[in-house]
Structure 1
Amino acid sequence: MKLIYVYDALCGWCYGFSPVITEFHQNHEEELDFEVLSGGMITGSRIGPIGEVAGYISKAYKDVERATGVTFGQSFLEDILEEGSAVFTSIPPAIALTVFKQHQPGQAVAFAARLQKAIYYDGIEPVDYEAYGELAAEFGLEPSSFVAEMKQNENLQRAREEFRRASGFGVTGFPTVLLQHNGQTTVLARGYMPLPRLEAAYQQAME
C-alpha cells in the first residue's frame, strides 16, 4: 500500500496541512509507503515577483492560520511579502525535494514540511539555492554537494516529471492525498483536512 501526498512548497494550505500529514505519517509509516510529489503550482507564466499576488496572499494567509493553527513568520510577511520583489516559483523547491528523496526517501514528508516552514516562516526566497543546502544539512546531508546536485539538469527533469505525474492523477489543487491499494487509487483528501477527518477517510478506504 502506498500513500501519495501531492503538495506544493508554495501552497499556503499545504503549509497548514504539514502538521497533519506529519502526524499521519508518524501514525502509519509502518504499514504504508509514503511518497511526496511536488505539484508545480507556480510554473511557466505564473512565475513572477510575489508583489504581483501580495494582495491575495495578505488575506489568504489569515484564513490558513485560523483554519489550521499554523503561523506565518514575520520574516516572510515583512521581508518577502511586503517587500514584494522575491520571485515566486515552485521549481527550485521541487528540485530540492527530488534531490533529497534520492538520499533519504523515508524522510520526504519531514523535508517537505521543512521546505514550507523555510519559505512561510523563516522567509527564505524560493530561488535561494544555498538556503536549500542549509536545510539539507539539518538532515545530515552535505550542503554544497546538495546545491550542486540541484543545479544538474537531470534533477530539473525529475521535478518536471513529478509535475506531470501529479497532473496524471487528476490533481488540480493542493494538498491532495491519494491511497493506492489493491490496484486502485482512492482520494483521501482534496484540500486541507484536519487529522481526525483524514484518519476517518483512511479507515473508510481500508474497509
Structure 2
Amino acid sequence: MKLIYIYDALCGWCYGFSPVIHEFVATNKLDCEVLSGGMITGNRVGPIGEVAGYIKTAYKDVEERSTVRFGKDFLNGTLEEGSAVFTSIPAAIAMAVFKNVMPKHLLDYASEIQRAIYHQGKPPADHATYANIVIKYGIEPNSFKELMSKTEYFDQAQDEFDHVAQLGVSGFPTLMLEKDDELFVIAKGYLPVQQLQANFERTLNM
C-alpha cells in the first residue's frame, strides 16, 4: 500500500496542501510517491503578469482555507513585476533529478520548491531556484544544475506528465491510494487533514 501524490510546483492549492500531506504521511507512516502534473506547459507558459489578476484573487482563497502564507517577495516582487516566466517544466526536471539522487526526501523537496517560489519569490524558470535548495540535503548546487540540463531528466519529467494524464488526473492536488493493485482517489483538490484522514480510513475499509 502506498500513496501517490500528484502535484504541480506552480499550483497554489498544492502549496496550501503541503502541511496537510506532510502531517497525513507522518501520522499514517505511509510511503508516498510524488508525481509532477505539468500544469503550466505548452501554450500556457508565459510571463506571470498574464495570470497575475487571477493569482491576486486566488491566493487569498488558499490562505483562508489553509495555514500557508504567500510571501511579500512573491506578492510585491515577482507578481507585481510580472516578467518572470511561469512554467512547470524546470521544477518537474528538478524533481526528476532529486528523485534519482535522494528519493526519500522527495516530498520535503517538493514543499521546499513551492516555498521558494511562493514565499521567497524565486523565478520558476531559473534552474538556480531549484539547485540552491539542495544544499541542505548535502548536494552540491552546481552539480545539481548540470544534471538538470541533461536530456534524460527532461524526458523523465515529460514521461511523468504523460503518466499523470494517463491516470486521468487534470487537477491538483490529487492524492491516490494504491491498495491491492487498485487505485483509489482519496483527495481531489485541497482538503483539511481531518477530511483526508476520514477518506483514507473509509477507503481502507472498502
Structure 2 counterpart of 1:198, which letter? Answer: L
Structure 2 counterpart of 1:118, which letter? Answer: A
Structure 1 counterpart of 2:170, which letter? Answer: T
Give the fraction of aligned pairs with identical amino acids, expressed as a percent.
53
1:89-109 deviations in Å (ceiling 9; x for gaps): 000001111101111111111
1:86-135 deviations in Å (ceiling 9; x for gaps): 00000000111110111111111111011000000011001111121110
Q: Give the Cα separation in 1 of the matches to 2:46 and 2:107.
A: 27
Structure 2 counterpart of 1:6, which letter? Answer: I
Shift >2 Å, 4+ stretches: none
Whether contact under 8 Å (1:25, 1:109) holds in the other structure is no
Q: Give the Cα separation in 2 of the matches to 1:130 and 1:14.
A: 22
Whether contact under 8 Å (1:73, 1:123) holds in the other structure is yes
Q: Which residue of 2 aligns with 1:146?
A: 144
Q: Which residue of 2 aligns with 1:178?
A: 176
Offset at 1:140?
1.5
Q: Give the Cα separation in 2 of the matches to 1:147 and 1:28.
A: 34
Q: Give the Cα separation in 1 of the matches to 2:194 and 2:98.
A: 29
Q: Give the Cα separation in 1 of the matches to 2:153 and 2:28.
A: 29
Q: Give the Cα separation in 2 of the matches to 1:113 and 1:125.
A: 16
Compute the TM-score of the two structures, normalised by the length of structure 2. 0.98
Q: Give the Cα separation in 2 of the matches to 1:140 and 1:20.
A: 26
Q: Give the Cα separation in 2 of the matches to 1:70 and 1:41.
A: 21
Structure 2 counterpart of 1:5, which letter? Answer: Y
Q: Which residue of 2 aligns with 1:93?
A: 91
Whether contact under 8 Å (1:38, 1:163) holds in the other structure is yes
Offset at 1:69?
2.1
Compute the TM-score of the two structures, normalised by the length of structure 1. 0.97
User: Pick from 103, 107, 110: which aligns with 2:108?
Assistant: 110
Number of residue-to-residue matches in the alignment: 205
Q: Which residue of 2 aligns with 1:24?
A: 24
Mark the runs of 5 or more structure 2 residues left unpaired by the alignment: none
Whether contact under 8 Å (1:73, 1:121) holds in the other structure is yes
Is 1:78 matched up with 2:76?
A: yes
SS at match of 1:4: strand
Whether contact under 8 Å (2:3, 2:32) holds in the other structure is yes
